[in-house]
Chains A and B, each alone.
Chain A
Amino acid sequence: MSRTSLRPTHRRALRGTAAAAALSATLLLAACGGSSDAGSTGSSSDSAASSGSSSSGEPFKVVVLSDGAANDQSWSNSVADGLNEIDPSLDVESDFVGPLTTADEYQQQGSSYASNGFDMILITNGGQTSAAVQIAEQFPDVTVCQGPISPTEDDLASFPSNFCAWNLKQQDGTFLAGVVAGLVTQTDVIGSVAGGEFPAVVRQPEGFILGARCVNPDVTIDIQYTGSFSDVGAAQAAAQTEIAGGADVLLSAVDSAVRGLYAAAEGAPRPTFVIPSYFDSYEQAPETVLTSVLYNLNGITADLIAKGAQGELGDADGGDEQYFNYDYANLNVGELADFHGNAAITPEIEAKLAEIEGKLRDGTITVPGEDGADMPLSENGAGSTIDPASIGC
């Protein structure tokens, strides 16, 4: 940048630089370790377990790599909580590392743990498939699981035998949130602020508007993508734009940056509610949070690790499963958190919600998935296009 700034200095400067680099690296690693310490637990028991990759007498060692801190009160918090729910009869030693952002960071951390004798690497970031596959190819004796993704048959055939993919049906949860929004809105306009524009995110606002249209045919949605899950300024700006357009109930799909939505709702000219995802966030903004969409990420984490410890993941260790799709039926994925007495939720709204939820659970209503449907819900505009009657509304 500067024509004069890169003039070399002398040896003392180089020593200073090296010292600064070492200090930075040490503290950065300590930071990652701190996150993992805060969120991790090693659960072990004396009982012998049939471990997947571990040899007899050795605990099954697993590390979870995630995009947020273990106490981010969002996605990663829920994932990290799952480490406390691992079946205690299994001899499992676990660790958590987050936040990680780039593919390089995932590869570096994954390779490091794999080199140090860990049996399983669980990546809870849907955008890191390439990094996960690379780690799996580099360490064929280590089981690598990554999700949420929705792989095709061709994808599954191309994955290494020690790789497994996992997914969760988020659209059932956001569909229910949409039902609430469709009943609560006073303007018939709702909004959603999302981080990245990829299938695991797109399906959330699309499920949201489909649920709202199930109970309110007049409702429309404004969906904004910010390109970041941490930029609160961008999240706030997107939410303000939606509020200015009339939206009074907003679904968050921006993880920790949901605080930007709270900031926007605080300054709104009319009562405006936010529905965060992944973690019951009522205490973060009691006046603003209407409810939260929960996906039992803790249960999914514990289940995948238990499967790994029992040798049920991938082909390498005798298992034959490479893809796990979680939904409400198999692991209670897609529920709403408590309303905490919010006055906007009238008994009539609660009754209607219970009716729709009953139909969703018994199969009368089927929210489209990402494949097999005429219009997968991970396509932009699907939630506003699909006829609610065609799915059982």
Chain B
Amino acid sequence: MNTVVLATLLVIAIQLMAPVLWASLGEIVAERSGVLNIGTEGCLLLGAWASALVLSHGQSLFVALVAGIGVGVLTGGLLAVLYVWRRVDQIIGGIMVNLLALGLTTALWTLLRGDETSGNAPSLPIPLLSDIPVVGEALFDQNIFVYASIVAAVALFFVLQRTRWGLRLRAAGEAPAALDAAGVSVRRLRVSGLVVGSALAALGGTTLVLTSGAGSFVFDMSAGRGFIALGVVLLARWNPLLALLITAVFGLLQALQFQAQSIGWLSGVPTDVWIAAPYVVAIIAVAVAHGTRYPRAVGVAWTGH
């Protein structure tokens, strides 16, 4: 494998990593607060739709960012009503949100789409570092949304470990009764977890649109990334830094399928095998990690205040 092939492989891996990483970070926040948000796929798709929609009407990247976050916050609010106040079963509620997002984004994109074209977000090469052979382009010549996903993983790790909100959020997922006894509202924390988590997942959609979609929306363009995030979170044991590592490996596995189709002695392997490979690896990894302990109160509706 020559250096050009290796460099391309890494560039693609990081691009494929970023949307899944955003969704994984969102899921970590939600699950740490005690809510199993199966609706992450829907959040990602809605974020993609909102960002592409404003771009199609000639708005700037900043407006696209705000639109992505905004729709994520609204979706988080809707999920909070379902999970926290109405105490809807979190599995069924999440599936409903995903179906709703798929239908809603398709219909509203058809009805509301503008005519402007925008393209991808511009790459921001970091001087000197982007010139490093092989890894320079992959790590230091990406767009702002890809850089931000990596920074967000590090930041979230510290927020969860070192801030009062992070401590309480984890308590809401592990021992909500103790939190309640201390006079802290479990409901309020779970609402904040859902809103922040959904906004992070929606940013995955924004990143997808502006990194791979040339600024446009495509029906079902999330293509299961939100579901992959559910597995990533389990493997990462709710640790954002491990999620960063695992999504990078997953991106690499996905990128390999395209290189493999072009490499002579591997090109004889059926394409379907390469397409399925990352998912097979994910299933095996999740199966191996079956002993992983969820936060104790994940998926259990809180009946107190």
Contact = CB atoms under 8 A, between A and B. Distances in A.
Interface of A: 1-10, 12-14, 16-17, 19-21, 23-25, 27-32, 34-35, 38, 68-72, 99, 101, 197, 222-228, 230-238, 240-242, 244-245, 256-257, 259-260, 262-263, 266-267, 283-286
Contact of A28 (B100, B120, B254): B100
B212 A20 contact: no
A233 B145 CA distance: 15
B234 interface: yes
A256 to B, nearest CB: 4
A112 B36 CA distance: 35
13 contacts: A4-B297, A25-B99, A32-B103, A71-B110, A99-B106, A225-B261, A233-B225, A234-B223, A236-B12, A236-B15, A237-B212, A241-B262, A285-B214
Contacts of B221: 230-232, 257
B117 A2 contact: no
A260 to B, nearest CB: 5
A7 B299 contact: yes
A258 to B, nearest CB: 9
Given A224-B261, A241-B8, A23 B100 contact: yes
Contacts of B96: 17, 20-21, 23-24
Contacts of B86: 12-13, 16, 19
Contacts of A5: 36, 90-91, 294, 298-300
B107 A31 contact: yes
Interface of B: 4-5, 7-8, 11-12, 15-16, 19, 36, 82, 86-93, 96-97, 99-100, 102-104, 106-107, 109-111, 113, 115, 117, 119-120, 123, 208, 211-214, 216, 218-221, 223, 225, 230, 234, 254-255, 258-259, 261-262, 271-272, 275, 294, 296-301
A95 to B, nearest CB: 15
B218 A259 contact: yes
**Top-8 shortest CB links A-B:** A5-B299, A31-B103, A31-B107, A28-B103, A16-B86, A34-B107, A244-B8, A231-B223
Given A9-B89, A259-B216, A284-B117, A69 B109 contact: yes
Contacts of A34: 106-107, 110-111
B208 to A, nearest CB: 6
Contacts of A28: 99-100, 102-103
A72 B262 contact: no
B82 A16 contact: yes
Contact of B92 (A12, A17, A231): A17
A374 B104 CA distance: 48
B107 A240 contact: no
A285 B216 CA distance: 11
A231 B298 CA distance: 31
Contact of A233 (B11, B15, B97): B15
Given A2-B298, A28-B99, A71-B110, A266 B272 contact: no
Contacts of B102: 28, 31
Contacts of A260: 212-214
A226 B102 CA distance: 21
A24 B120 contact: no
Most buried by A among B11, B208, B271: B271
Given A28-B99, A72-B218, A263-B214, 19 more contacts: A1-B230, A5-B300, A10-B87, A20-B82, A21-B96, A29-B103, A30-B103, A34-B111, A71-B110, A99-B220, A227-B272, A231-B221, A233-B15, A237-B15, A237-B255, A240-B8, A260-B212, A266-B120, A267-B120
Most buried by B among A14, A16, A238, A257: A16
B203 to A, nearest CB: 15
A225 B271 contact: yes
A315 to B, nearest CB: 36
A263 to B, nearest CB: 5
Nearest to B31: A2
Contacts of A10: 87
Contact of B91 (A6, A14, A35, A262): A6
Nearest to B92: A17
A286 B90 CA distance: 45
Most buried by A among B89, B119, B219, B298: B219
Contact of B213 (A2, A4, A25, A232): A232
B259 A241 contact: yes
Contacts of B103: 24, 27-32
Contacts of A99: 106, 219-220
Contacts of B258: 224, 237-238, 240-241
B221 to A, nearest CB: 5
Given A38-B110, A241-B262, A263 B89 contact: no
Contacts of A70: 110
A284 B216 contact: yes
A197 B8 contact: no
A279 B193 CA distance: 44
B219 A2 contact: no
A1 B234 contact: yes
B264 to A, nearest CB: 12
Nearest to A257: B218
B212 A233 contact: yes
Nearest to B271: A225
A300 B87 CA distance: 51
B202 to A, nearest CB: 16
Most buried by B among A12, A31, A226, A233: A233
Contacts of A68: 219
A232 B275 contact: no
Contact of A244 (B4, B107, B216, B230): B4
A27 B5 contact: no
Given A224-B261, A256-B219, A69 B106 contact: yes
B262 A222 contact: yes
Contacts of B92: 17, 20-21
Nearest to B276: A227
A263 B213 contact: yes
Contacts of A234: 223, 254
A228 B223 contact: yes
A232 B218 contact: yes
